[in-house]
């Protein structure tokens, strides 16, 4: 009799946990470009980093950059210093719960993924640049190139399924950057924003 009772308790425990998991909702960002594209002031004050981490800037004079939230200076645009490792160090200072990941790995529940790429292969160092992409709840990726609109297409106007395979060469279209250096994918906690 005791064995049946233990078995019944085990079955109930498994059943209840499966139900909890089934109804557990994991949040990811929703692609809502209007918020970021509302007017020229909003577009100018927010960049790919603020967009990727969902840190809407409507008041600060300076656009945020990796390290800004922890009070650390920008990565200098100097060959050998403008590297993935230095950006990742600043990201970890800004976000203590940051998890290194990959395109194919899933983030824990209530985390979402972003990816970082660099254009640090130019002869003129002051033209070095970084760029972030963010995974949205619809499975596509979106981004906000500098002072421009938040979009979910790449340099070839194709929806972004995988940033590593997307066209990141904005030089051919806008005479801007070609983000050839993949720094990695990261999971960051999802927080409600206003």
Q: Quick one: average pLDDT of 128-141?
A: 96
Report d(CA 133, CA 111) in Å as an integer: 15
Residue 192 has pLDDT above 80, yes or no: no
Q: pTM of the full predicted structure?
A: 0.84
At 9-49, the pLDDT tens digits run: 555 555 555 444 434 578 999 999 999 998 898 898 999 99
Residue 3 has pLDDT above 80, yes or no: no
Report d(CA 98, CA 78) in Å as an integer: 26
Residue 169 has pLDDT above 50, yes or no: yes
Point out which residues pair with 135 in neighbouring strands: 141
pLDDT score, position 193: 53
Burial status of residue 28 (CB atoms within 10 A of its CB: 0-12, 13-18, 19 or more) = middle
pLDDT score, position 124: 78
pLDDT score, position 10: 54
Residue 134 has pLDDT above 50, yes or no: yes
């Amino acid at each position: 009799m005791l064995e049946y009772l233990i078995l019944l308790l085990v079955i109930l425990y498994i059943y209840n946990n499966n139900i909890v998991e089934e109804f557990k909702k994991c949040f990811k960002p929703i692609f809502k470009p209007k918020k970021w594209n509302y007017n020229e002031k909003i577009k100018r004050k927010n960049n790919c980093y603020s967009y990727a981490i969902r840190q809407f800037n409507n008041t600060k004079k300076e656009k945020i950059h990796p390290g800004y939230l922890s009070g650390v200076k920008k990565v200098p645009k100097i060959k050998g210093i403008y590297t993935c490792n230095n950006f990742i160090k600043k990201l970890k200072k800004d976000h203590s719960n940051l998890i290194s990941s990959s395109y194919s790995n899933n983030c824990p529940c209530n985390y979402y993924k972003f990816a970082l790429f660099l254009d640090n292969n130019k002869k003129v160092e002051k033209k070095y640049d970084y760029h972030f992409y963010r995974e949205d709840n619809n499975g596509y990726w979106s981004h906000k190139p500098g002072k421009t609109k938040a979009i979910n297409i790449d340099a070839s106007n194709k929806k972004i399924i995988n940033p590593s395979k997307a066209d990141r060469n904005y030089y051919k279209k806008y005479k801007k950057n070609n983000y050839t250096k993949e720094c990695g994918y990261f999971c960051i906690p999802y927080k409600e924003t206003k």
